[in-house]
Amino acid sequence: MLGAFLVEPKNPTEIERADVDYTLILNDGAHGFTFNGKSFPATEPLTAKVGQRLRIRFMNEGMMIHPMHLHGMHMTVFAKDGWILPAPWRCDTLNVAPGERYDVIVKCKSPGTWAFHCHILPHAESEHGMFGMVTAVIVS
Protein backbone atom coordinates (compact mmCIF):
# COMPACT_ATOMS: atom_id res chain seq x y z
CA MET A 1 0.00 0.00 0.00
CA LEU A 2 1.05 3.55 -0.68
CA GLY A 3 -0.52 6.83 0.25
CA ALA A 4 0.00 10.36 1.41
CA PHE A 5 -0.31 11.57 4.98
CA LEU A 6 -1.67 15.13 4.82
CA VAL A 7 -1.86 17.52 7.76
CA GLU A 8 -4.20 20.42 7.06
CA PRO A 9 -3.69 23.80 8.75
CA LYS A 10 -6.35 24.89 11.22
CA ASN A 11 -6.55 28.29 9.53
CA PRO A 12 -5.44 28.01 5.88
CA THR A 13 -4.05 31.09 4.20
CA GLU A 14 -5.77 32.51 1.11
CA ILE A 15 -3.33 30.87 -1.30
CA GLU A 16 -3.95 27.43 0.29
CA ARG A 17 -7.70 27.56 -0.31
CA ALA A 18 -8.96 25.40 -3.16
CA ASP A 19 -12.28 24.11 -4.48
CA VAL A 20 -10.80 20.82 -5.69
CA ASP A 21 -7.78 19.01 -4.23
CA TYR A 22 -5.69 16.23 -5.81
CA THR A 23 -2.57 14.43 -4.67
CA LEU A 24 -0.28 12.96 -7.35
CA ILE A 25 2.33 10.51 -6.14
CA LEU A 26 4.93 10.24 -8.90
CA ASN A 27 6.83 6.99 -9.21
CA ASP A 28 9.26 5.28 -11.58
CA GLY A 29 9.69 1.91 -9.91
CA ALA A 30 9.08 -1.71 -10.86
CA HIS A 31 5.56 -0.93 -12.11
CA GLY A 32 6.81 1.64 -14.62
CA PHE A 33 6.11 5.37 -14.71
CA THR A 34 3.00 6.02 -12.63
CA PHE A 35 0.69 8.57 -11.01
CA ASN A 36 -0.80 7.12 -7.83
CA GLY A 37 0.30 3.65 -8.91
CA LYS A 38 -1.33 3.79 -12.36
CA SER A 39 0.02 4.33 -15.87
CA PHE A 40 -1.85 5.84 -18.81
CA PRO A 41 -4.47 4.92 -20.00
CA ALA A 42 -5.49 3.81 -16.46
CA THR A 43 -4.69 7.22 -14.92
CA GLU A 44 -7.68 9.24 -13.78
CA PRO A 45 -8.14 12.80 -15.05
CA LEU A 46 -8.22 15.73 -12.67
CA THR A 47 -11.56 17.53 -12.97
CA ALA A 48 -12.77 21.00 -12.06
CA LYS A 49 -15.31 23.57 -13.18
CA VAL A 50 -14.61 26.92 -14.80
CA GLY A 51 -13.77 29.43 -12.08
CA GLN A 52 -12.64 26.85 -9.54
CA ARG A 53 -9.23 26.71 -7.89
CA LEU A 54 -7.56 23.33 -8.32
CA ARG A 55 -4.86 22.33 -5.83
CA ILE A 56 -2.36 19.70 -6.91
CA ARG A 57 0.04 18.18 -4.39
CA PHE A 58 3.03 16.54 -6.08
CA MET A 59 5.04 13.91 -4.19
CA ASN A 60 7.92 12.24 -6.01
CA GLU A 61 8.48 8.82 -4.51
CA GLY A 62 10.64 7.67 -7.42
CA MET A 63 14.34 7.81 -8.16
CA MET A 64 14.11 10.09 -11.21
CA ILE A 65 13.29 13.73 -11.82
CA HIS A 66 9.84 14.40 -13.32
CA PRO A 67 9.18 17.83 -14.89
CA MET A 68 5.38 17.99 -14.72
CA HIS A 69 3.87 19.95 -17.61
CA LEU A 70 0.31 21.29 -17.83
CA HIS A 71 -1.07 22.54 -21.14
CA GLY A 72 -3.41 25.53 -21.41
CA MET A 73 -3.04 26.99 -17.92
CA HIS A 74 -0.22 27.89 -15.58
CA MET A 75 0.43 26.51 -12.12
CA THR A 76 1.19 28.79 -9.17
CA VAL A 77 3.75 27.08 -6.95
CA PHE A 78 3.12 28.13 -3.36
CA ALA A 79 4.62 25.44 -1.10
CA LYS A 80 7.65 23.14 -1.13
CA ASP A 81 8.15 20.20 1.20
CA GLY A 82 5.26 21.36 3.38
CA TRP A 83 6.43 24.97 3.79
CA ILE A 84 4.64 27.98 2.30
CA LEU A 85 7.01 29.83 -0.04
CA PRO A 86 7.67 33.52 0.67
CA ALA A 87 7.29 34.32 -3.04
CA PRO A 88 4.93 32.01 -5.00
CA TRP A 89 5.77 31.71 -8.70
CA ARG A 90 4.03 30.67 -11.91
CA CYS A 91 5.10 27.99 -14.37
CA ASP A 92 3.73 25.54 -16.92
CA THR A 93 6.43 22.95 -16.11
CA LEU A 94 7.47 22.11 -12.56
CA ASN A 95 10.59 20.02 -12.02
CA VAL A 96 9.89 17.56 -9.17
CA ALA A 97 13.08 15.80 -8.02
CA PRO A 98 13.15 12.54 -6.02
CA GLY A 99 11.78 13.05 -2.53
CA GLU A 100 10.44 16.54 -3.26
CA ARG A 101 6.93 17.69 -2.55
CA TYR A 102 5.27 20.73 -4.12
CA ASP A 103 1.82 22.29 -3.77
CA VAL A 104 0.38 24.29 -6.66
CA ILE A 105 -2.84 26.10 -7.48
CA VAL A 106 -4.36 26.12 -10.96
CA LYS A 107 -7.03 28.74 -11.63
CA CYS A 108 -9.37 26.96 -14.03
CA LYS A 109 -10.40 29.79 -16.37
CA SER A 110 -10.59 27.94 -19.71
CA PRO A 111 -12.92 25.01 -20.36
CA GLY A 112 -11.45 22.03 -22.17
CA THR A 113 -9.42 18.88 -21.80
CA TRP A 114 -5.81 19.82 -21.14
CA ALA A 115 -2.88 17.40 -21.40
CA PHE A 116 -0.93 16.92 -18.18
CA HIS A 117 2.22 14.80 -18.28
CA CYS A 118 5.87 14.32 -17.40
CA HIS A 119 7.90 16.35 -19.89
CA ILE A 120 10.60 13.69 -20.26
CA LEU A 121 9.39 11.99 -23.44
CA PRO A 122 10.32 8.36 -22.54
CA HIS A 123 8.27 8.74 -19.32
CA ALA A 124 5.10 9.57 -21.28
CA GLU A 125 5.34 8.26 -24.85
CA SER A 126 6.81 5.36 -26.81
CA GLU A 127 6.73 4.17 -30.41
CA HIS A 128 3.30 2.71 -29.53
CA GLY A 129 1.82 6.02 -28.32
CA MET A 130 1.15 7.58 -24.93
CA PHE A 131 1.76 5.58 -21.74
CA GLY A 132 3.05 6.12 -18.23
CA MET A 133 2.95 9.58 -16.70
CA VAL A 134 0.10 11.04 -18.74
CA THR A 135 -3.34 12.23 -17.69
CA ALA A 136 -5.57 15.25 -18.33
CA VAL A 137 -7.07 18.19 -16.50
CA ILE A 138 -10.71 18.47 -17.56
CA VAL A 139 -12.34 21.85 -16.96
CA SER A 140 -16.10 21.91 -17.61
**Is residue 2 over pLDDT 90?**
no
Q: Could you tell me if residue 12 is inside a domain?
A: no
Q: Could you tell me if residue 54 is inside a domain?
A: yes
Give the closest residue to 137 by CA, choosing from 36, 43, 39, 46: 46
Q: Could you tell me if residue 73 is inside a domain?
A: yes
Neighbour-count burial of 48, counting CB atoms closer than 10 A to its CB (0-12 exposed, 13-18 middle, 19+ buried): buried
Q: What CATH code is carried by the domain that includes residue 37? A: 2.60.40.420
Q: Could you tell me if residue 2 is inside a domain?
A: no
Q: How many domains does the chain have?
A: 1
Range of 99's domain? 17-139
- Residue 13: the pLDDT is 86
Q: Could you tell me if residue 93 is inside a domain?
A: yes
At 1, the pLDDT band (50, 70, 90 cuts) reads low
Q: Could you tell me if residue 115 is inside a domain?
A: yes
Strand, helix or coil for residue 15 = helix
Alpha-carbon distance 61 to 120, whole Å?
Answer: 17
Q: For residue range 6-18, list pLDDT tens digits in order.
A: 777 788 888 889 9
Q: Could you tell me if residue 32 is inside a domain?
A: yes
Q: For residue range 45-65, list pLDDT tens digits in order.
A: 999 999 999 999 999 999 999
